[in-house]
Structure 1
Amino acid sequence: MTAHPLIPRSVLFGNPDRMSPALSPCGRFLAYLAPDARGVLNVHAGPWEGREFRPVTADAGRGVRAFAWSGDGRVLLYAQDRDGDENTRLYAADPAGAAPARDLTPYDGVQARIVAIDPRCPDRVLIGLNLRDRARHDAYRLDPATGKLDLAARDEGFTRWVADDRMRVRGAVRAADDGSAVLLVRADEDAPWRELHRVGAEDAPALRPFGFTTGGRHLLLLSSLGSDTARLLRVDTVTGDSEVLYEDPRYDVEGVGTHPVTGRAQFVLVRRERNDIEVLDPSLAADFEALRAAARGDVTVLGRDRADRHWLVQHNTDDGPAGYRVLRRETGRTVFLFSHLPALDAHGLARVEPFSFRARDGLRVHGYLTFPPAGSVPPAPSGTGHRRLPAVLCVHGGPWTRDLWGFRSEAQWLANRGYLCIQVNFRGSTGYGKRFTNAGDREWGGRMQDDLQDAVRHTVALGHTDPGRVAVYGGSYGGYAALVGAAFTPDDYRCAVAVAAPSSLITFIESVPATWGPMAAMLRRRVGSPETERDFLWSRSPLSAADRIRIPLLIGQGARDPRVRSEESERLVAALRRNGVPHEYLLFPDEGHGFVRPRNRLAFYAAVERFLAQHLGGRYEET
């Protein structure tokens, strides 16, 4: 059998060709991220029909990672920190590239956040700034043309702001230390706050106000109150009456598409095994039929112009690059723009298969399997189906998020190197209703870890996985899970890879950044309190069982990470060194929580690839 060619790491983990496109409010222009001549990601912009794009930002460091058009389309806004310290400043770039970017928030040690951009109020942007108190982000209206700031609301322990179509802050969510939360509204910025929607701790994670309809009387709201799953509600802010616009009995509503002028809900996103769009407004049925016919894959509407004549959409598949198109609604035809990584077209990619299993306590758990394409591993004996493969258990971060179907560089990389990639949406993951998410409370290193073990054992029982050649791999929470596997159940894994991984839950929770604000109380409730449960947290900390680690470890860390500080990794590395455990420690001095610079990403993945090949026997790119 001819060996399946190796996909170069530079293709999978270098810069994309183009990514994150955004349509201007007038519908004539497009902006996207792409590497400049130096290989640094910067914003490019131009008329999408003429395809005359040029770089309009000139960042020379970590690159621009996200941006947005202002409501009037006159500037492009982006936030940038320094080497991952998360003290972001907000910049305004000229879409024509005729002038250098302007720093709109020139404050040292302050974090700027974009809260709302709305074409219904085109000359203002709502931002959050922790100028007054590093733990509180007050809301300001910003004029991007002049940089003038106008205080819109003071942070009184709020976790979310909601602006109406006039960019007035008229909604806010306040969280309590007991985990409950309340949605507050007011008639105007001079009026007092009053309660509109209160939820207990079990429903607070799903509470998400989406926005006001035009005129400001009704508020679109995601809430699981009275249901296991998050439903889309329309709430009358005067009477408090609510109407359920959409619900699914098993999965949360996770996104809402609204009309650009009226603000009314027209479709919702429900992430089941794949990303499903459910149309609420019958007038859009033909549009989505046209989009589904235009290309295979799951459809995501990325933006609409103010006249609602053009939609920017993405088609996402599992075995190819994401493709971007513009839908002309008048004709029902789409115009292909580009894919995010055309170089992938030259390589055969793997399919991603949803799977599920019963955990040891009976809970149904879902995930995804990515098998190596034919030629990436030696053939199985005749008639035996899938060969028992070396496997990498890839644990997502968060943990309050989930893995999704579609193209993922890491899954394709692992499959191409000959490994079965196992992704598990363990309890605590989101999208499957509140009972499933809340089942992860106080289960870091407990039943959340059991779900990961049970997933591997399920694939072993199916004949897919070689139980003697399994690695556990992850970043952030996933890195913590990798360390837990190495420390508490080392017999289950041949080796482990952990990035930005807390080794002590005590010091991790005690050192959360001030900018997290109410998140600190949430961690204490859902994970444990260092003040009252120190022994419990220590028992769930990999550092407490460092002497039991005997499998090889590769640890990656950003020196400027404000979330999981380098001391977390260094204390564990010191223990490994004392105990003579084989390990590699990669410390990147110019990175934060995750590796952004291409040279650092490529160095990290090259080291991981060698490490996995050494211990699991997969393929390795020599260059």
Structure 2
Amino acid sequence: MKIVHTIFRISLIVFITNIMTHNIKSYAIDKKNELIPKKVLFGNPDKASVAVSPDGEYISYLAPYNGVLNIYVAPINNIEQASPITNNKDRGISAYFWSYNKEYIVYLQDQDGDENWQIYGVHVKNKKEKKLTNFQGVRAEINNLSEKFPNEILVSLNNRNKELHDLYKLNIINGKLTKIYENNDFSDIITDDTFKIRLALKQTDDGGSNIYKINSKLNKKLFYKIDSEDINTTGIVGFNKEADSIYFIDSKNQNTAALYSLNLKDNKKQLIYSNNHVDVNAVLLHPTRKSVEAVSFNYLKQDWKIIDQGIKKDFDYLKSKMKGELNIVNRSLDNKIWIIADIQDNFPVSYYKYDSDKKKADFLFLNRQDLKKYKLATMHPVVIPTRDNMELVSYLTLPFEVQSASHNFKPLEKVPLVLFVHGGPTARDYWGLNLVHQWLSNRGYAVLSVNYRGSTGFGKEFINAGNGEWAGKMHDDLIDAVNWAIQQDVTEKDKVAIMGGSYGGYATLVGLTFTPDVFACGIDIVGPSNLLTLLKTIPPYWKPALNSLKLKLGGDPETEEGIKILESKSPLNFASKIKKPLLIAQGANDPRVKQSESDQIVAAMKAKNIPVTYVLYPDEGHGFSKPQNRISFYAMTESFLASQLKGWSEKSEDDFKGSSLIIKEGSNLKN
């Protein structure tokens, strides 16, 4: 197992009645499909993060134990014997890795969403756990694991300098921590399989980045310059077996990011794969030979390009077995056992164990078994034109009741629409099983997710078209998508809500302040309201990438001109224009978008006597990790949407059980 290194561091008025209206349908369509319980959609998955051990003897996954996600392990050929090896009782475990000594699994855990991750080790057989890093207010990151050092891993800690991470060797058996590099310069340090420091990255003043070669004496030499326009489409994938070349995704002198081999001695680049339409999405390396076997790319849906013909029979067989997209989750070190995921848009994720010697795939389990009982909606990929002739790859999901017999994106009749905006903004929406899409469409809404300019995957010109366009052309793209949906008779002009988290929350606030007549209501989840304070309160370990962030937002908070630009793009300064219902949800421990971002706009609305509903989760961060908190939030949201757009709402006595939710302002949507 490898840790892939990249340079991507950095993505009402509430007029609600006190009497909750459940199962209402004020528009024309009749409810034929059963309401899917929120606990089925947003409770813990049955299985997640499935992996095979490096020696191929065990399978592991995350699953609920006493209602909390924990790590389960079973013999690869006897999954029925799976048992939990951890006993987390709070937030649950979200990320773990097999060590190469076969006996230990390491996992990461933070405190109430603060993202100050600490590293734990657990013995697979005796289930004894150790906290391998124990630093208050320090963020631990796993730098590398290697089969050459089965008892050790490389970790990065910002315990000395909050802005930069020093590199340590950590013995996972006895917990010994040994510093091997004190970092005073770099945002990222790249090591090879021998745990030698080979490369390091440092951002430049213009928002680009320099890659330095690090020799055995830890001296640096400039190796490769990444221009600011390429910063989001360039990254190091890994080393070849000899560690004399790197596999490198790069967009220099072209629009889309291609895969190259880059020689560390003579700097020669050799093209491996390029796609003129989209960026390289993922690279499949052989576990031990470290050769490139396949490359994935994604425009409307994911596809693969075979590089090593020796793997073609495997792919041909697996594609014949899959009903949706083929995803290779991980493989054993000898390449015999693969864990495969079949991703569909209207069915739970299906996991398989594939034996590459026998060319045989055996079904393992679904990620959400209970979801199989319900009819799920189809997600339609659509391409929406913008007013300035760009193309927005988008995804539209319709309620089952208005899906046409031909299963195209045109509904049988108009329905309310929720514009669901992704965060980042250097991220993107994908085709596949989207639980929010399924939930909202099941409640009677069309759901539209848009890869607006600034989104990743479609070339650097598309990403960089978003620079400085927060509340500008990025928002125009969302408005163009809404107008498209109206023109295509998907929805009506006064029946559109906007909703999203992080940047999507910001887009919601922009929607209700800069275009106050477009949306019927908005739901802001951990969204920034003031770009000045956003930049001044970023986590300290983001500061090495601050110049790139300034470039994206279009202003420098340290200059008079920059302050004016940022103020002109901050919804806080236009709060008086809000005239449509707004629901705001925030995690109190969010390190990226501080609680103060929500507090500020709520205070500004109160000062103008503009109603707002504001809910706070004191044990959450940038999003809601605990299932009881997720369910309570979605319960409030669907009640809010039902009151505004007249969709359906599920009433459950358990919606708020165990949740930490605090209603800071506004209507009590729990009643």
Q: Do structure 1's residue 573 and structure 2's residue 602 form an aligned pair? A: yes
CA drift of 1:386 comes to 2.8
Contact 1:393-1:456 within 8 A present in 2 as well: yes
Task: Answer with 226-235 or 390-399: which moved more.
Answer: 226-235
The amino acid of 2:517's aligned partner reads D
Matched position secondary structure for 1:456: helix
Contact 2:228-2:548 within 8 A present in 1 as well: no
Partner of 1:464: 490
CA drift of 1:525 comes to 2.1
CA distance in 1, matches of 2:77, 2:295: 29
Contact 1:376-1:415 within 8 A present in 2 as well: no
Q: Do structure 1's residue 608 and structure 2's residue 637 form an aligned pair? A: yes
Contact 1:376-1:417 within 8 A present in 2 as well: no
CA drift of 1:172 comes to 1.7
Q: 2:466 aligns with which of 423, 440, 444?
A: 440
| Residues 415-430 of structure 1 mapped to structure 2, 5 A cutoff | 415-430=441-456
Contact 2:428-2:455 within 8 A present in 1 as well: yes
Q: Do structure 1's residue 531 and structure 2's residue 558 form an aligned pair? A: yes
| Residues 364-383 of structure 1 mapped to structure 2, 5 A cutoff | 364-374=391-401
Partner of 2:205: 177
Partner of 1:102: 130
Q: TM-score, normalised by structure 2?
A: 0.89
CA distance in 2, matches of 1:275, 1:537: 36
Q: Do structure 1's residue 246 and structure 2's residue 246 form an aligned pair? A: no
Q: Do structure 1's residue 146 and structure 2's residue 174 form an aligned pair? A: yes
| Residues 109-148 of structure 1 mapped to structure 2, 5 A cutoff | 109-148=137-176
- Residues 212-249 of structure 1: per-residue CA shift (max 9 Å, x gap): 11221111111111211111110111111110101100
CA drift of 1:584 comes to 1.3
Partner of 2:660: none
CA drift of 1:146 comes to 1.9
The amino acid of 1:606's aligned partner reads A
Partner of 2:317: 290
Matched position secondary structure for 1:601: helix
| Residues 442-521 of structure 1 mapped to structure 2, 5 A cutoff | 442-521=468-547
Partner of 1:237: 264
Matched position secondary structure for 1:516: helix
CA distance in 1, matches of 2:492, 2:76: 50
CA gap 1:466/1:485 in 2 versus in 1, 3 angstroms: same
The amino acid of 2:519's aligned partner reads Y
The amino acid of 2:113's aligned partner reads G
Task: Answer with 313-322 or 522-531: which moved more.
Answer: 522-531
CA drift of 1:463 comes to 1.1
Q: 1:221 aligns with which of 218, 240, 248?
A: 248
CA distance in 2, matches of 1:99, 1:28: 17
The amino acid of 2:164's aligned partner reads R
Q: 1:42 aligns with which of 70, 80, 87?
A: 70
The amino acid of 1:459's aligned partner reads A
- Residues 172-204 of structure 1: per-residue CA shift (max 9 Å, x gap): 22211211212222343x252222221211012
CA drift of 1:2 comes to 6.2
Contact 1:165-1:213 within 8 A present in 2 as well: no
Matched position secondary structure for 1:526: helix
Task: Answer with 424-433 or 201-210: which moved more.
Answer: 201-210
| Residues 303-322 of structure 1 mapped to structure 2, 5 A cutoff | 303-322=330-349
CA distance in 2, matches of 1:207, 1:174: 14
Contact 2:210-2:223 within 8 A present in 1 as well: yes
Partner of 1:402: 428
Partner of 2:237: 210
CA distance in 1, matches of 2:313, 2:184: 45
CA distance in 1, matches of 2:420, 2:451: 10
CA gap 1:572/1:2 in 2 versus in 1, 3 angstroms: closer
Partner of 1:542: 571
- Residues 59-90 of structure 1: per-residue CA shift (max 9 Å, x gap): 11111111111123321111111111111110
| Residues 22-101 of structure 1 mapped to structure 2, 5 A cutoff | 22-37=51-66, 39-51=67-79, 52-96=81-125, 98-101=126-129
Q: TM-score, normalised by structure 1?
A: 0.96
The amino acid of 1:26's aligned partner reads D
The amino acid of 2:373's aligned partner reads A
Contact 1:370-1:411 within 8 A present in 2 as well: yes
Contact 1:33-1:42 within 8 A present in 2 as well: yes
- Residues 516-546 of structure 1: per-residue CA shift (max 9 Å, x gap): 2312222122212111111111111111100
Cα RMSD after superposing both structures: 1.6
CA gap 1:201/1:385 in 2 versus in 1, 3 angstroms: closer
Q: 2:584 aligns with which of 534, 546, 555?
A: 555
Partner of 1:582: 611
Contact 1:152-1:168 within 8 A present in 2 as well: no
Contact 2:247-2:262 within 8 A present in 1 as well: yes
Contact 1:46-1:95 within 8 A present in 2 as well: no
The amino acid of 1:223's aligned partner reads D
The amino acid of 2:165's aligned partner reads H
Contact 2:415-2:491 within 8 A present in 1 as well: yes
Aligned length: 615
Contact 2:588-2:618 within 8 A present in 1 as well: yes
CA drift of 1:475 comes to 0.5
CA distance in 1, matches of 2:507, 2:323: 35
Matched position secondary structure for 1:468: coil
CA drift of 1:374 comes to 2.2
The amino acid of 1:131's aligned partner reads N
Matched position secondary structure for 2:150: coil
Partner of 1:592: 621
Matched position secondary structure for 1:125: strand
Partner of 2:363: 336
CA distance in 2, matches of 1:147, 1:555: 43
CA drift of 1:318 comes to 0.3
CA distance in 1, matches of 2:203, 2:601: 34
- Residues 431-488 of structure 1: per-residue CA shift (max 9 Å, x gap): 0000000110011111100000000101111111111100000001100000000111
The amino acid of 1:422's aligned partner reads L
CA distance in 2, matches of 1:472, 1:105: 41
CA drift of 1:580 comes to 3.4
CA distance in 2, matches of 1:2, 1:166: 61
Task: Answer with 206-215 or 240-249: which moved more.
Answer: 206-215
CA distance in 2, matches of 1:590, 1:2: 37
Matched position secondary structure for 1:374: helix
- Residues 223-278 of structure 1: per-residue CA shift (max 9 Å, x gap): 11121111111011111111010110011112111111121111112122111121
Q: Do structure 1's residue 20 and structure 2's residue 49 form an aligned pair? A: yes
The amino acid of 1:45's aligned partner reads V
CA distance in 1, matches of 2:254, 2:180: 34
The amino acid of 1:157's aligned partner reads D
CA drift of 1:599 comes to 1.2
Contact 1:124-1:167 within 8 A present in 2 as well: no
CA drift of 1:586 comes to 0.8
The amino acid of 2:641's aligned partner reads L
CA drift of 1:575 comes to 2.3
CA gap 1:43/1:327 in 2 versus in 1, 3 angstroms: same
Contact 2:141-2:157 within 8 A present in 1 as well: yes
CA drift of 1:120 comes to 4.5
Task: Answer with 280-289 or 355-364: which moved more.
Answer: 355-364
Contact 2:495-2:645 within 8 A present in 1 as well: yes
CA drift of 1:385 comes to 5.3
- Residues 272-297 of structure 1: per-residue CA shift (max 9 Å, x gap): 21111211100000001111112211
The amino acid of 2:223's aligned partner reads L
Structure 2 gaps, min length 5: 1-29, 653-671
CA distance in 2, matches of 1:501, 1:106: 31
CA distance in 1, matches of 2:468, 2:180: 37
